[in-house]
Amino acid sequence: MHLNSRAENIPLSLNFMGRKLRNHTVAPAAKQRAWDRTSPSRCADENRGGLSRVMRTQPLVCVQNELPGSIQELREEVQRQPCNVHNTHLDQENNGGVWKRGGASWLRKSRIKWKSFKHWMSSEHCAEPSKTPAKDRKAASVSTRVRDREDDGPADMKIFIPYDSAKLCITQIADDMVAMKSRHLEMVQELEENFLIASQENQERTVHKIRTYYQNKLHALKRVLDLYQEKVERRSALWEEKIKSLQDVNERLQDEQKALQEKNRHDSATWEREKSKMMELFSSRLDQLHSHQASTLEELQMARMEMGRVQEMLQASKETEAKETENSDSGAPLDGAKARLEELRESLYKREREISMLIDGGGGEGRGVQDGLAPLAYTRLLAAVVRQAHQVYAEVTEAKQQFDQMAEENRKAVAEATVRGTYFQDNQTDVDGVELRPLGMNQSEVSLGDQVTQAEVNLQKHEVLLVALECIKAGVTPTLTGPVSEDDLAALDERVKSFEERFINSGDLNSEVGKRVGQQLLLLQAELKQVKEENKTMTEHYTAERTLRKKYYNMVEDMKGKIRVFCRIRPQTRAELVRGSSTIVSCLDDYTVILETPRGPREFQFDRIFTTEHTQDDVFQESSRLIQSAIDGFNVCIFAYGQTGSGKTFTMLGDREQKNPGIIPRTFTKIFEIIQENETKFEFKVSASMLELYNDRLQDLFVSPADALSKRIEIKKDKKGLVFAQGAEAKEATSAGELFALFELGSANRHIAATKMNIESSRSHLIISIMLESRNLANGSMTYGKLNLVDLAGSERAAKTGAKDDQLKEANSINKSLSALGDVISALALEQAHVPYRNNKLTQLMQDSLGGNAKTLMFLNISPSDCNLDETLTSLIYASRVKAITNHAQRNMESKEITQLKEVILRLKSGQTVEEEDV
Ligand SMILES: Nc1ncnc2c1ncn2[C@@H]1O[C@H](COP(=O)(O)OP(=O)(O)OP(=O)(O)O)[C@@H](O)[C@H]1O
């Protein structure tokens, strides 16, 4: 008989018969045994004999075998041999009618005590030996033996029972057994059923409970996930909006910048056009004026000569007249000529003065125009000048004609006088000694020589004005350009001064022309000032907008995960100054550096340029944002790159005396400042390790060099792709001071050498890793940030630095690692499928900083001197490539729920039970 296979698998960890059986199961074999003991198959005979058996509608058992030695057999045997009952029906083994001890078990099972059976057998149903017939005597003797051994039971006994008694007894026993068995069977069936029902119910209840529980959990998780998703979507929408708005701003700024540039270009083109037009006009006018001036002066000179001749003739006439007066009273024609001559002279002087004034005013104004006078005013002025010049020219020509005419008349008169023989030879000497002075003028009046000097003064004044205007235009104090000696300069200064004095003393300042020139000057100055201011504001706006645009651009680049590159130009070293090196690096603005190369200037753009004017603090302020990121759970790397002696160590560590600490010591302080600000919300743990890569070997700087040699450090990657140095010591620090002490301990073990250039040079790559763990006290979430600070060894040319033996080996190793770094940068910049990180330990170490999941900042240090041109150019090109690399920074954070859920999932996967309290 077998239990139903379904029933076999029912867990018994539930309520069973009112008891809580937890995690207890009944072995199927045991169940089978228990069942067999009360198997209804034993009752098959009774069934055949008409005994009823309770059958359930859904039988859980089935009959397999019939037991030997059934009650039917017993009956039949008893009927066959009425006085001799063997124990066959009592014991399954027929031992030739001998009772065995085990044969009494059926009595025990049927709850009939041996004693009472014996008693019943002897007293009620067994006859007395004396009274019994012979066939019953045997039974009597047996019953006596039974009485003797009543305590031992029926072992080794042979029982002879009278047929009736035996029949009665056996029938009774069989009935009892049948009743007992049926009772037992019912009980067991009931028990099985109950058990089955209870276990089914319990199982269903448990399954339902577990299902409900997990459904609830799943709903809760789904809700959390939905919330997260919503949050992420909201955030990404926000970021997208931000990026869009930034792009809009960027575009707008670009448009504005373009418009501004266009306007600038247009303005300057217009201005240049106007200027060149004016210049042309002005120079042609000036040339005209100069030629007029020259011709006028020539004419004047000729007129003077003519006048001299006329004077001579007049003198001769006078003398002739005097002689003639002595002889006769005639001479009237010369009187008219004299008066006419006087008149002409007057007009000539007047014109001459006017020309001088015109030259002064016109020249000054004309030159002024070229420097910024309004075109209309200038045109008007030029028109006036030209008109006046024409007028003067016409008047001079007319005067000349008159003068010629007069001279002709005089000549005729002289000729007549000569004809009359009144020419006096002895007056010649006097004529030669006559000064070039107009007739009728006394000594106090201005002489012709003075007039010439005045013209010269005016010309010089004109020059002074030109010089002054040039200076006003340039906004500088008057100086001389061109190769002039100090003496020339002093002499010129003297001349200018004397001209100015003479100009002032001449009183022309008060004259109309002087006033006009003064006014023009003031106007020019005002206009010039205005133009300059406009230019200045325009430049300021342009610079501000350019800076803003660059800032937004940088923000966008930052969001994209681009590696930031800052370029720092160090000042010239004493050695470079002694060598007389010149500076070939300059900055256009905060983002553009220009390198003068033999092929012309080359422009490079970076995220920020730091010049010699920027302090260590300025540099740190720009980088400190990244320290907050590291504390927030990002991987951050700041590294310095550049040729030997370009200022990497100065930037990263600072100077030797720590008067100007660099980024690393400032970072220590900043970390603990941020920790202090947040200690009410977070619990922090800071630890650091310090390594150097020297001659292709990684060394732990926290242990002595001797111990470090025996230590093996390997570069590994954790599950998240974070690079770490296995085998390096990480020491915990609770303050900036402790961190700094650790750093000093490590620095003492570094490899440093002095190069030929007498600069103390780092001969190894220094890598300081600061691990920042923080636990949110409010929700228990954990974040893990890593801050890598790297001071690379300088690239150098062995020949240039004079390295030998060990130093040469060091240099080769450094150059090898830097060239491997260059290969990685090239591969990343060109987005190649394979990036050769594994070619060198340096690149392996920096794997998560270049193209990995870190926020990276590179400092490019360069020298400004021409002697380092090649290295500087190479470094600039190298760094420009780094700018193209994109990283994928992400926060290393685990929420408490996520950690727990991960555990639950793992346990469920491995088939373990999960208790409610675990979740
Ligand atoms: N910005 C700066 N202002 C003043 N001095 C500077 C600056 N940058 C560098 N120096 C000086 O230039 C010299 C060389 O600088 P540093 O040692 O930092 O170069 P390096 O690139 O680290 O060289 P190496 O790679 O050989 O170690 C030092 O004397 C340093 O003080």
Query: Does 667 have pLDDT greater than 90?
Result: yes
Ligand 1, residues 616, 650, 655: which to mutate, most atoms within 8 A of Cβ? 650
- For residue 767, the CA-to-ligand 1 centroid distance in Å is 18
The number of residues making up the chain comes to 919
pTM over 0.90: no
745 pLDDT exceeds 60? yes
Residue 620: predicted pLDDT: 93
Do the bridges between strand 854-862 and strand 564-569 make them parallel or antiparallel, or are there none, so unpaired? parallel
Which residue type does 788 have?
Answer: N
pLDDT category at 388 given cuts 50, 70, 90 is low
- The mean of the pLDDT values for the chain is 70
Name residues whose C-beta falls within 8 Å of residue 408's C-beta, 6 or more positions apart in sequence.
none
- pLDDT score of 101 more than 90: no
Does the annotation flag 654 for ligand binding? Answer: no
* Structure-block tokens of residue 869: 């041109």
Cα 380 from Cα 364, distance rounded (Å): 14
Whether the CB of 650 sits within 6 Å of ligand 1: yes
Pairwise pLDDT comparison (760 vs 315), residue with the higher score: 315
Tell me if 881 sits within 8 A of 749, measured CB to CB. no
Q: In the prediction, which pLDDT does 860 show?
A: 95
Tokens 């008169």: give the residue.
413
Question: CB within 8 A of 782, min separation 6: which ones?
Answer: 773, 774, 775, 776, 893, 894, 899
CA 481 – ligand 1 centroid, Å: 40
Alpha carbons 365 and 788: distance in angstroms, whole number: 68
Choice among 59-63, 576-580, 737-741, 824-828 with the minimum mean pLDDT: 59-63
C-alpha to C-alpha distance for 307 and 352, rounded to whole angstroms: 15
CA 358 to ligand 1 center in whole angstroms: 65
The least confident of 229-233, 330-334, 562-566 is 330-334
Q: Is the CB of 861 under 6 A from ligand 1?
A: yes
**Residue bearing the bigger pLDDT, 794 or 610:** 610
Tokens 């915990």 belong to 732
Is 49 labeled as ligand-binding?
Answer: no
Look at residue 506 and tell me whether its pLDDT is greater than 80: no
Would you say 63 and 40 are in contact if contact means Cβ atoms under 8 Å apart? yes
| 206 annotated binding-site participant | no
Cβ(793) – ligand 1 distance below 6 Å: yes
Q: Return the ligand 1 atom nearest residue 610 CA.
A: 1
Q: In which residue are the tokens 């504005």 written?
A: 256
Q: In this structure, which residue's CA is closest to atom 1 in ligand 1?
A: 570
The answer to the question of whether 802 is labelled as a binding residue is no
pLDDT in tens, 685-707: 999 999 989 888 888 999 888 88
649 Cβ closer than 6 Å to some ligand 1 atom? yes
User: Is 647 known as a binding-site position?
Assistant: yes
Could you tell me how far CA 259 lies from the centroid of its own chain?
Answer: 30
778-803 tens-digit pLDDT? 888 888 888 999 999 887 665 555 56
For residue range 168-184, list pLDDT tens digits in order.
Answer: 777 888 888 888 888 88
Q: Is residue 571's pLDDT more than 80?
A: yes
Testing ligand 1's pocket by substitution, the residue of 658, 759, 763, 868 carrying the most ligand atoms inside 8 A of its CB is 759
Residue 589 has pLDDT above 70, yes or no: yes
Would you say residue 98 has pLDDT above 50? no
Is beta strand 682-694 parallel, antiparallel or unpaired with respect to 765-776?
Answer: antiparallel
Nearest CA to ligand 1 atom 8: 647
Q: Is 573's C-beta closer than 6 angstroms to any atom of ligand 1?
A: yes
Domains and CATH numbers, the chain: 561-897 (3.40.850.10)
Q: For residue 207, which amino acid is it?
A: V
Q: Which residue has the higher pLDDT, 684 or 340?
A: 684
pLDDT at 739: 92
Residue 135 marked as a ligand binder? no
pLDDT of residue 651: 94
Residues 801 and 523: their CA atoms lie apart, in Å, by 62
The per-residue pLDDT for 281 is: 75
pLDDT of residue 316: 74
CA of 646 to the centre of ligand 1 (A): 5
Which protein residue has the closest C-alpha to ligand 1 atom 7? 570
Find out whether the beta carbon of 571 lies less than 6 Å from any atom of ligand 1. Answer: yes
Going by C-alpha positions, the residue among 245, 262, 275 that lies closest to residue 542 is 262
Position with higher pLDDT, 773 vs 11: 773
Residue with the bigger pLDDT between 24 and 259: it is 259
Q: How far is the CA of 645 from the centre of ligand 1 (A)?
A: 5
- DSSP run (H or E) holding 710: helix 705-710
